[in-house]
Amino acid sequence: MSMTHSSYYRPRIFSITGDVSDAEIDRAQSIDPTATLNREKVEEIGRDGAVGHIKRSPTISYRLTQYEYGNIEFWQKLVNSDVKGNIGEDAITLSDFKTPYFDICAYLTNDNGDFVGTVLYPSMRTSGFSITIGEPQAMIERGFDFVGESAITWQGDNKYYICNRHECGSGEDNEIDLSAKAPAEDPDNTGVYMFRVVRVRSGSSEELDSSEYSYDNGTKILTINSVVAGDVIKSYYTSATAPDVQFSLNDTDPECLIGDSCSIYLYIPGSGKPSSSDYLYKLQSISLDVRFDREDLREIGNKDVVQRGVRNSTVTVTLGRILEDFTIEEVLTGQVSGYGKLDVEKFTDEATLIVKFFDDNTKTTFTYGIKATGLTPTETRLGAGVNEYVKPDASMECENLSITKDTTVLGI
């Protein structure tokens, strides 16, 4: 049997809420999903051996790493918006990750060129992400953590995962012809052809109950019970017919950005907008790590998650440098360069960090930026080793972070 190489493992993301297009996942370096089945053996007194096993919903953890390539498209898909973060639009903020959910799939082709199936991780949510620059010439990496409750492998007549978009015109435009890529019946559920149907109306999205639509396998027509002009209907299903695009090669954006393609500023907002004096020189490494304390709720009588939310968010920033001056300490204490006393007890809790990404080290073309506000220092280190330069690190935390292509929003 022929195997599937990573060259033919083609990942794709489908935003569920909002009128948002699906997209390939570019510059992925590693994908590591794990399904924990959550089965518990049941025994009883008087019996030798198990009665059976309780089968709770699985727990899916999905880890993705990408090289940074100066594009916010994937960030937008995670928050189910094609416009958030663009110039003139609201920045992507941590609150935008609370309720959006999405499907991630991988289209699989073996070494013989035969398409073998689709692995689907439905209704995933973001539980955290990070951006890391390990050293000045290192490739910049993004890391993402997602959570969910299901993993499905589709093959045979169900081997392709499809999302069809239909915008309703005037009148009773409620019949959608799916014959071009006809849905296949769910092998586990007789008469079921739709995996999910979503109606987007006036910016609000609703996942429809099966009583709110019907599908005729003879005519290949999906009928939505109630629509108005302008409604967008997104139908998700499997098919024996391939989608128009499985994976489109992105040869437009940079292959990868490295540490010399960004500018980093640290300042206290009370002193006005950041200037060249707030630029961090001699920086050796930086990491931004965001963790979401999710509260995704089920209900009695239903195995699915019915509400999605985040109790709180934590942003951790770690800066590493070679000791030459005390710029970071001066900023954190709000003092001018060369001030005679830098006391950690007087560190601010209102620092702002800005990271600007450019498409190369000439820094002529800005791509997007990240801004963390309300940073409070949590730890400083000043380690030394034999025959090594002193490398002080500083760690800070906050609860606010923005991602945007708009320099006005960044403030620089």
Cα separations in angstroms, 271 against 225, 355, 394: 58, 18, 21
Closest listed residue to residue 321, CA positions, set 372, 256, 395, 412: 395
Task: Work out the number of other CB atoms within 10 angstroms of the CB of residue 277.
Answer: 12
Give the pLDDT score at 142.
97
CA 215 to each of CA 147, 175, 183, 348: distance values in angstroms, whole numbers, following the listed order: 31, 9, 9, 61
Contacts of residue 286, defined as CB under 8 A and 6 or more positions apart, other chains included, come to 132, 133, 264, 317, 318, 319, 320, 355
Q: Two tokens at 252?
A: 């437009």
Query: How many whole angstroms separate alpha carbon 17 and alpha carbon 380?
Result: 42
Confidence of residue 378 (pLDDT cuts 50, 70, 90): confident
> pLDDT tens digits, residue range 141-200?
999 999 999 999 999 999 999 999 999 998 788 999 999 999 999 999 999 999 999 999
pLDDT of residue 337: 59
Instruction: Tell me the pLDDT tens digit for each residue of 220-252.
Output: 999 999 999 999 999 999 999 999 999 999 999
| Contact assessment for residue 304 and residue 411, using Cβ atoms and an 8 Å cutoff | no
pLDDT at 5 (0 to 100): 72
Work out the number of other CB atoms within 10 angstroms of the CB of residue 155: 15
| pLDDT grade for 339, boundaries at 50, 70 and 90 | very low
* Mean pLDDT of the region 285-290: 95
% of the chain surpassing 70 pLDDT: 89
Alpha-carbon span 15 to 100, nearest angstrom: 8
Tally Cβ neighbours within 10 Å of residue 32.
Answer: 9
Would the pTM of this model clear 0.85, i.e. be above it?
Answer: yes
Q: What is the mean pLDDT of residues 324-343?
A: 56
Token pair, residue 329, equals 């300490």
* Residue 170, pLDDT score: 85
pLDDT at position 320 is: 83
Q: Please compute the mean of the pLDDT values over residues 382-387 and round it to a whole number.
A: 54
Question: Is it the case that residue 342 has pLDDT exceeding 50?
Answer: yes
Backbone angles phi, psi at 219, to 5 degrees: -90, -15
Tell which wins on pLDDT, 130 or 327.
Answer: 130
CATH 2.30.110 describes domain 259-410: yes
Q: Between 343 and 206, name the one with better pLDDT.
A: 206
Bridge partners of 103? 14
Q: Residue 170 belongs to what H/E stretch? A: none
Mean local confidence (pLDDT), 359-383:
88
pLDDT band at 390 (very low <50, low <70, confident <90, very high): very low
pLDDT at res. 387: 47
Q: Which of 302-316, 340-354, 390-404 has the highest mean pLDDT?
A: 302-316
pLDDT at 333: 62
pLDDT at 96 over 70: yes
What integer is the mean pLDDT of 12-18?
97
For residue 205, pLDDT over 50 is answered with yes
pLDDT mean over 100-121:
94
pLDDT band at 393 (very low <50, low <70, confident <90, very high): confident
Residues contacting residue 246 through CB under 8 Å, at least 6 positions apart: 10, 12, 24, 107
Q: Amino acid identity of 116?
A: V
Q: Which pLDDT belongs to residue 302?
A: 83
What pLDDT sits at residue 407? 94
Neighbours of 150 (CB within 10 A): 16
The percent of residues in the chain predicted with pLDDT above 90, rounded, is 71
Write phi, then psi, for 361 (nearest 5 degrees): -80, 0
Per-residue pLDDT at 1: 54
Q: Name 15's Cβ contacts closer than 8 Å, sequence gap at least 6.
A: 21, 22, 77, 80, 81, 100, 102
Provide the pLDDT for residue 276.
Answer: 72
Which among 334, 371, 327 has a CA at the least distance from the CA of 349? 334
User: Would the pLDDT of 116 be above 80?
Assistant: yes
Give me the mean pLDDT over the 251-266 stretch. Answer: 95
Most confident of 163-172, 336-345, 389-398: 163-172
Amino acid at 33: P
Each domain of the chain, given as residue ranges in start order, spans: 165-239, 259-410
**pLDDT score of 14 more than 80:** yes
Residue of higher predicted confidence among 384 and 129: 129
Phi, psi for 78 (deg, rounded to 5): -65, -30
